[in-house]
Structure 1
């Protein structure tokens, strides 16, 4: 089976430096030197499509542009690329969400994937009018996905749940194909929802041993539900012709981190209710390690290298996914193969800036994975099936 790679649409802006935002960070206007216009995002999407990425993740939150509207527009400028649209249950009714997804499928030729984000921060949820606590939000997500799944199956749905109620709900046209559900979360209640409803469980980029534990945990829960789940990982990537060049780029990004910004972001993230965010913070400790002990010969910032070629520096100024694969094309391919041996089949990647980094990865790493028989360009697979 060919590995699946997705890229990222930076709907909060892009830059040659790390653009803040993400899970649990303060709400600010879209930043970066490249505004998230439909034209620029379409340029990234077309590059990802040509290079062999299957889909592109679009985030959700008050810190970025709306994912549904943005991807609907960008989809008209692409042909094959799928859109992994992040959305939060509870902001719209499950019947309307099921209908929106069905419409998106028909208008794009079946190019929708759904990344269900329950919402880990109560203060941000309240800004949208949602006053449930974290556990209740996950319970509502379970009810939401139950309704959506039954509607997509063509049924008439009645539900009098603890958080949601629908009566005589039905879709005039069901989606074909049914969108796959991507879902992440590190708390016990998140695992239960994933086991019952997810097609793909996503984890942020932790070291392999921690990822292996998560896979075992979710796989066991899913088996109890009589289901099987695929696994994916969300990472940034810095890949170059040589290891030295890649680490020099990581150091350049690190040098651009303002100490005041790091302190402000880390203070905000420390208040996060998300177990996944807590695990991200633990990887870097909230600050830049001091030289010389943290810097190996050649100046690479290994104080933040938490596993060979896995760098926690991004998480200093960005919420959510905070680690990057850093190294030569061969080294990055080796780390991907390492995660794959654990059970990871899908990789959701990004880099700064997203246009150029897509080419570095697509032209440097993917051919090496293809040579190992781990990856095939989607268009080649489609031609073979045809």
Structure 2
């Protein structure tokens, strides 16, 4: 099983410890970040989706236009665009980038965010809609003749498209969501299932559940896990940086609370019992950090704890060699893709490309060669 690395491209520079810099959409920053990831050896870069964020399709297209090899993983929320239109949009970008597009389907577990875009369906209804949406999406990519789909949410008659994916009959579908409803849809449609960084035991449990769901449809998806690696020249320096990041986030939360007196769902928001996210992925992280900040050899949940498990927020902490060994342990239980991004986005991506990615690739290759000759 080969190993794939995915980075992160955003509209402007910002993170949990860096206040937003520059214009809302900063073309120069997008270009710099995309080119850096390409030079650093990442296979793809994720462009995220949020109800208040700049459009992921357009950010991805700009990133593709300034690179030649870097793949783009475009986060996409089903339900707000007709699936036939979305299929043509994604296929068009796939042609413009010469086959470098994949799509990351995010149905959404935050009711408040979804209502901001006018979506008032229940979670179960949203996943039922996603199932129909992906059925239509895949049909339009694969069909060479008009097709009809009649469902609860979409009534498509004689749909056809003059543009299909550049290289193959489909565009790779990555899928996130840890609820039972999400896993049922993932098993039917996902080429790659993506989860937030958990312990080895928790990861194995999700891999097994999704694999069982996919097997019912004769499918074998790839598995992707997300981490925020914190690397130091020594283990002590890595842990000092981890605790400094945590302290910076807490200080920013305090400043935000004092200046706004609001419970806004932002990187600077203070966490309380009444604004903890309730989606399944966040609940899994909450259960993880409730058992302590350190798990297995390298997994640290300090940022997940102070942000309430609101997003991809767990870290592998140590030297590059130690973090690479920890990632190899995840590879052994079925993880083929690592989505890694730092708290200092540009500097960390450069560090990953120089120190971490080559180590992991070499160790995975060496171990697979050993197994094939064993």
TM tier, smaller: 0.7 to 0.9
> Closer, same or farther in 2 for the Cα pair 1:269/1:329, shift >3 Å?
farther
Q: Is the 8 A contact 1:12 1:63 kept in 2?
A: no
| CA shift digits 1:236-255 (9 cap, x unpaired) | 11112221121111111112
Report what 2:340 is aligned to: 349
C-alpha RMSD of the superposition: 2.1
Q: In 2, Cα distance between the equivalents of 1:183 and 1:144?
A: 13
Report what 2:92 is aligned to: 103
Range moving further from structure 2, 236-245 or 316-325: 316-325
> C-alpha displacement at 1:83, in angstroms?
0.8
| CA shift digits 1:134-171 (9 cap, x unpaired) | 11000000000000111111242212211122111111
Q: Are 1:189 and 2:185 an aligned pair?
A: no
Q: In 2, Cα distance between the equivalents of 1:34 and 1:232?
A: 31
Q: Are 1:368 and 2:367 an aligned pair?
A: no
Q: Are 1:141 and 2:130 an aligned pair?
A: yes
Q: In 1, Cα distance between the equivalents of 2:206 and 2:364?
A: 26
Q: Is the 8 A contact 2:31 2:63 kept in 1?
A: yes
Report what 2:164 is aligned to: 174
Q: Is the 8 A contact 2:11 2:27 kept in 1?
A: no
Q: In 2, Cα distance between the equivalents of 1:284 and 1:45?
A: 33
Residue number among 105, 109, 114 corresponding to 1:120 in the alignment:
109
Report what 1:58 is aligned to: 47
Q: In 2, Cα distance between the equivalents of 1:320 and 1:254?
A: 15
Normalised to the residue count of structure 1, the TM-score between the two structures is 0.85
Q: Is the 8 A contact 2:60 2:72 kept in 1?
A: yes
> How do 1:170-249 residues align onto structure 2 when only pairs under 5 Å count?
170-177=160-167, 178-249=170-241
Q: In 2, Cα distance between the equivalents of 1:359 and 1:13?
A: 15
> C-alpha displacement at 1:213, in angstroms?
0.5
Report what 1:27 is aligned to: none
> C-alpha displacement at 1:195, in angstroms?
0.5
Report what 2:370 is aligned to: none
Q: Is the 8 A contact 2:12 2:22 kept in 1?
A: no
> Closer, same or farther in 2 for the Cα pair 1:128/1:5, shift >3 Å?
same
Q: In 2, Cα distance between the equivalents of 1:332 and 1:277?
A: 23
Report what 1:153 is aligned to: 142
Report what 1:164 is aligned to: 154
Q: Secondary structure at the match of 1:372?
A: helix
> Closer, same or farther in 2 for the Cα pair 1:89/1:311, shift >3 Å?
same
Range moving further from structure 2, 172-181 or 130-139: 172-181
> C-alpha displacement at 1:267, in angstroms?
3.3
Q: Is the 8 A contact 2:11 2:29 kept in 1?
A: no
> C-alpha displacement at 1:34, in angstroms?
5.7
Report what 2:326 is aligned to: 335
Q: Secondary structure at the match of 2:229?
A: strand
> C-alpha displacement at 1:51, in angstroms?
1.4
Q: Is the 8 A contact 2:13 2:345 kept in 1?
A: no
Q: Secondary structure at the match of 1:266?
A: coil
Q: Unaligned 5+ residue runs, structure 1?
A: 20-30, 290-302, 376-386
Report what 1:9 is aligned to: 9
Report what 1:49 is aligned to: 38
Normalised to the residue count of structure 2, the TM-score between the two structures is 0.87
Q: Is the 8 A contact 1:10 1:354 kept in 2?
A: no
> C-alpha displacement at 1:129, in angstroms?
1.5
Q: Is the 8 A contact 2:3 2:361 kept in 1?
A: no
Q: May I ask how many residue pairs the two structures share in their alignment?
A: 347
Q: Is the 8 A contact 1:196 1:222 kept in 2?
A: yes
Q: Is the 8 A contact 2:175 2:190 kept in 1?
A: yes
> C-alpha displacement at 1:98, in angstroms?
0.4
Q: In 1, Cα distance between the equivalents of 2:363 and 2:115?
A: 48
